[in-house]
Amino acid sequence: LYSFQIFSGMAINVEIKGAVMSKRAKRKHRNALKVLISQALNPLIFLYGPFIILTSSSFFSIKSHLPEKLAQILIHMFPVNNAIIMLMLTDDYRNKLIR
């Protein structure tokens, strides 16, 4: 699934570079691509990352509670981080928030 998203993102980037459009339109397309890539990486880090942390800590017999606490924090940060990505990487939302 993520390999398809990476391939699609690279293909979109190549198309944007070769397309005949204004600089403003290219910038808007690049910003949309940044948001798309960030939205794709967000669950990878904040949902699958904790699973990897917990699995590796049990595999290596780590007796600390730190991996469990870290996993809880990352999982609970997913929705907040998702909203922050949209607010900070989308020009219209960011400008409205700053005003």
Per-residue pLDDT of 15-50, as tens digits, reads: 877 778 888 888 888 888 888 888 888 888 898 989
The count of residues in the chain is: 99
Comparison of pLDDT for 27 and 5, the residue scoring more = 27
pLDDT of residue 76: 92
**CB contact set of 71 (below 8 Å; sequence gap of 6+):** 50, 51, 53, 54
Tokens 């290596």 appear where?
A: 60
Tokens 């998203």 appear where?
A: 5
Answer positive or negative: Cα dihedral of 4, 6, 8, 10.
negative
